[in-house]
Amino acid sequence: MTASTLSDSIDILHVSKRYAQQGGAPLAVLDDISLRVRAGEFVSVLGSSGCGKSTLLRLIAGLDTDYSGDIVVAGDKVRDTSLERGIVFQDHRLFPWLTASQNILAALRNAPLSAREKREAVAEHIALVGLKGFENAYPHQLSGGMAQRVAIARGLVNRPRVLLLDEPFGALDALTRGRLQNELQRIWEHERITMILVTHDVDEALYLGERVVTMAPRPGRIKRIVDVALPRPRERNDPRFIRLRDEVLADFAEQDGTRREPQEDRDDDRPNGGTRVPVASPPITEWRLAW
């Protein structure tokens, strides 16, 4: 495609955000988040609902500027939105009064291109997301997957150096999701711009990301960063992939799995066969049947 697809690095330095609550202590949404994303890297941010990952993405995009700490993109502090930072939302947010190509063209309104160049860029990106023939379709005539693809094309048409994706496939069915994950991977390999994908799907995070950043909720903080050093395209049945997935899932299970220790104690007891009650066993009122 073009000779230079530039991308930017992102430095998130000790970012914290809190919401003032009515009649109570402020609610900490993000707590001291620090992360360095290399230029051209694909990072997945993984967490359950309410862990602040979408908030973090909005801060990087510049849609929200009320936080402490710094977000630096390619050496410049983020103060507001920018055409250099594209964003794709969970709901496609296409304007219903415009066709697919008009929606993509709307993103170019403030781009320093001539009308002809804009038209060419739109056609190029429609083809990139595989929607040739649907240029004149209105959003209500498109399926969810197709509309989201238009949204991705719209996010890319300004040739941003960073693309932020906020659970872009969350509203789609599983089959379409798989297909679009492949599309996104193909696009990333083609464009090689920095991408940050926020998701709650472990498989998606591991499939697409070079690194997976796990976040814990209340307050939102980074739990762990996992390096996914597997060749692309990744095999979901690859034993290494499965091992990584178990490792990442274990992170989330730990948050509510306090029953693990007592069971292990009981196992240890059996060889002795005595009547000694293990110290960590829960009281009888809290025993739960296995079925």
Binding site for other proteins (CB under 8 A): 61, 63, 81-83, 86-87, 89, 91, 93, 95-97, 106-107, 109-110, 127, 130-138, 140-143, 145-146, 158, 176, 179
Nearest-approach distance from CB 82 to other proteins, in angstroms: 7
Between residues 129 and 216, which has the closer beta carbon with respect to other proteins? 129
Contact between 148 and 184 under an 8 Å Cβ cutoff? The reply is no
Nearest-approach distance from CB 227 to other proteins, in angstroms: 31
Nearest-approach distance from CB 270 to other proteins, in angstroms: 55
- Helix H or strand E segment including 35: strand 27-37
For residue 56, CA distances in Å to 79, 192, 252 come to 14, 22, 19
DSSP-assigned beta bridge partners for residue 30? 17, 220
Between residues 134 and 207, which has the closer beta carbon with respect to other proteins? 134
Between residues 131 and 222, which has the closer beta carbon with respect to other proteins? 131
Between residues 175 and 289, which has the closer beta carbon with respect to other proteins? 175
Contact between 262 and 282 under an 8 Å Cβ cutoff? The reply is yes
213 vs 228: CA distance, rounded Å:
11
- Three-state SS sequence of 201-214: CHHHHHHHCCEEEE
Between residues 87 and 208, which has the closer beta carbon with respect to other proteins? 87
290 vs 280: CA distance, rounded Å:
18
Nearest one of 140, 135, 139 to 121, comparing CA atoms: 135
Nearest-approach distance from CB 167 to other proteins, in angstroms: 14
DSSP letters spanning 223-250: EEEEE---PSSPPTT-HHHHHHHHHHHH
Nearest-approach distance from CB 110 to other proteins, in angstroms: 5
Nearest-approach distance from CB 87 to other proteins, in angstroms: 5
Nearest-approach distance from CB 179 to other proteins, in angstroms: 6
Between residues 61 and 226, which has the closer beta carbon with respect to other proteins? 61
- Helix H or strand E segment including 10: strand 10-19
Between residues 67 and 205, which has the closer beta carbon with respect to other proteins? 67
Contact between 39 and 194 under an 8 Å Cβ cutoff? The reply is yes
